[in-house]
Structure 1
């Protein structure tokens, strides 16, 4: 039934009402509302049934009918609001998200399709905070009718195709050349991509198997990584060819900042490639480029300058050498030998510098450069993560033990002669070499029978 605005009755107008709605809660709260049967029956299936001739409705003394509605105590005000909305096209938005959700529950209870649709429209378009989402997730799936599914559309898992598209787009930003305009976007892309691939209380958002689609994604990831490594190679070549001016204590040079940006990106890429089981994309490059990387770091960040950059380089090397040590990346013996020689030396110096900075001891110098107070404070805050350091030691130990015995002897001799030998623990490899060397003749005596010496 439709009324003109001036002729439409008003809820609570006792002179014209012919129905009293009694809202009752299990906790004993009561709310009496003077209403109109025509309005209630037109907008609510619940009242249409209760006011029909087929329903025995109680008549009270002043010739009005009484309809009792039982509702939870927390939903009492929502039922009152739903009844008011039957009388006027009030905007649902004035109740806010949680208020509209309460009215939606009341409208579903009272079978008020127009009000329920208005609430659903508002909830579908309004912004939610986390507490709102939890209440919506608890309430909406329990409501009858599929029309409320659209309220939950923004919370449903994304399909693989759009999720993959956003992953690849974000990965391109995360590995792109840095610029002032994209630095914030780059940082956000790296953070969210790592979160997408992390298994915590929930499974990773994406997993790429050996299907055509998965291989296509991995191919594009490889291209992005190759672009990053190519730019880094150009940078190291430039850093080695540029004549460095004496560093000042007032701050880092542009070259130092660029180096830190590169190694931070590569360290992040290692995290992602490890989750995707794609460390092969970077391991062979990093092992081969190890001498140039170390020389570029020494040229750009001599002595105790930029310890945060050295720490990042250690993190990358730990991840790469772990992949080699575990057999995930297979490299020839000469490349494995080169890698451990370079990183034993660099890791020992870096650990010594970090420990010295953490002690606040800047009286020593390295390569003729005085210690830097500001960087010492930074190093003390950053430090070398114990898990990263232990992983590096374990990886180097495992790789050394895969090399020919004479090569092992050469590496261990250099380690023992180093002034920084105490900063990298290779005693396990040393013990194994001693044992194997001593029992070698006995263990391999069968070879003399197979290949007798002429």
Structure 2
């Protein structure tokens, strides 16, 4: 066979005693020790620490068949990380991937510290790439903050997600969240809306840290304008509700009138949602009046709209999303439960005696009212006893 011009690459395997020319002897103060049979060409190429230790400037002893011996002392808690780093030197030298060998963020962080200590650039780069791409638990994040900043520029990409954000980006996020919160998302997004409201409060609050955003005139104007528009809208609809309901109740069930009633229900849903969420605060009398006007109307109108929707002749009628009905029902329940118990009793009595009690379903309000009413005397008597004791002291 003729020789080839290209040299055949020699593959070294760690702990292969037949080819090893270096023993790395890991030791701890507690007496733990491990001998790793290595190859100087691998250690010197991928690790500056071993390159220095195996140079002529650093004396080494020879053991076991004239092999050089390098003693490495480490802490007991870091022992396994040192073993892994030395093994990884063989993988990165062969351009192998170590992405599936980290076994989690904490293990990777330990390996990274040793790789920085021993000055192993390829392993450091692989560790940084892994940590930069992974999600962290809160405890892992705290540990990263303690360790990584001391590692200099090579580990800087890891901290990119923790850097302060410029004010323009913060403002854009805040205003987008504000617009979402003051909108009327589907019922399925109520949890998202509540979460967004909490984060808006958090961004503006001052606790152990300064507020994420200082509400300047532009932001204040945006907030006030949103609230003012909604408040005016609710007040306007409240003032006109009695006349609107009377007019719509007198009209026939023609398709065009059904569509108008549908639009009225949609607007009422937005109004009640604003009241239920506390976006607009109305006094008790007005909240009760809104319910007395729109509960009976919606009870009768929904079956009419459902029937029209099923009629093929009315296919052109715009459809009302089922989530809108759920949102409206949920808002009715919330507003009812915020009324005095006596007013709740009146509304629940009307609901239980009505043939259209299926919608809106006030079962949740009924259950809460029953519980509150049953335990009211006991609750209030306890409060009165506590007040007497406080006054006597």
TM-score (norm 2): 0.66
Secondary structure (helix, strand or coil) at the match of 2:16 reads coil
The CA distance in 1 between the partners of 2:86 and 2:7, in whole Å, is 19
Q: Evaluate the alpha carbon distance shift between residue 71 and residue 228 of structure 1 in structure 2; reply closer, same or farther with a 3 A threshold.
A: farther
Q: Does 1:353 align with 2:342?
A: yes
Whether the 8 Å contact between 2:184 and 2:270 is mirrored in structure 1 is no
Whether the 8 Å contact between 1:306 and 1:375 is mirrored in structure 2 is no
Tell me what 1:378 maps to: 368
The CA distance in 1 between the partners of 2:51 and 2:348, in whole Å, is 92
The CA distance in 2 between the partners of 1:366 and 1:15, in whole Å, is 91
Secondary structure (helix, strand or coil) at the match of 1:140 reads helix
Tell me what 2:145 maps to: 137
The structural deviation recorded for 1:78 is 1.7
Whether the 8 Å contact between 2:203 and 2:211 is mirrored in structure 1 is yes
Tell me what 1:12 maps to: 15
Q: Does 1:231 align with 2:233?
A: yes
Secondary structure (helix, strand or coil) at the match of 2:13 reads coil
The CA distance in 2 between the partners of 1:367 and 1:100, in whole Å, is 61
Tell me what 2:222 maps to: 220
TM-score (norm 1): 0.58
The CA distance in 2 between the partners of 1:14 and 1:192, in whole Å, is 61
The CA distance in 1 between the partners of 2:237 and 2:44, in whole Å, is 77
Q: Does 1:263 align with 2:275?
A: yes
Q: Deviations over 1:278-319 (max 9, x none)?
A: xxxx8xxx68x98755532443469xx95631565xxxxxxx
Q: What stretches of structure 1 of length at least 5 have no aligned partner?
A: 209-213, 246-252, 270-281, 313-349, 384-454
Q: Deviations over 1:93-145 (max 9, x none)?
A: 211322222221110111111210111012111222333323322321233x2
The CA distance in 1 between the partners of 2:369 and 2:174, in whole Å, is 33
Whether the 8 Å contact between 2:291 and 2:332 is mirrored in structure 1 is no
Q: Does 1:308 align with 2:308?
A: no
Q: Does 1:109 align with 2:117?
A: yes
The structural deviation recorded for 1:33 is 0.5
Q: Does 1:191 align with 2:198?
A: yes
Tell me what 2:178 maps to: 171
Secondary structure (helix, strand or coil) at the match of 2:201 reads helix
Higher mean Cα deviation, 97-106 or 235-244?
A: 235-244
Q: Does 1:369 align with 2:356?
A: no
Q: Deviations over 1:353-395 (max 9, x none)?
A: 38xx7xxxx6xx4797377764142357899xxxxxxxxxxxx
Secondary structure (helix, strand or coil) at the match of 2:340 reads helix
The CA distance in 2 between the partners of 1:381 and 1:63, in whole Å, is 87
Q: Evaluate the alpha carbon distance shift between residue 178 and residue 54 of structure 1 in structure 2; reply closer, same or farther with a 3 A threshold.
A: closer
Secondary structure (helix, strand or coil) at the match of 1:107 reads helix
Alignment RMSD (CA, Å): 3.6
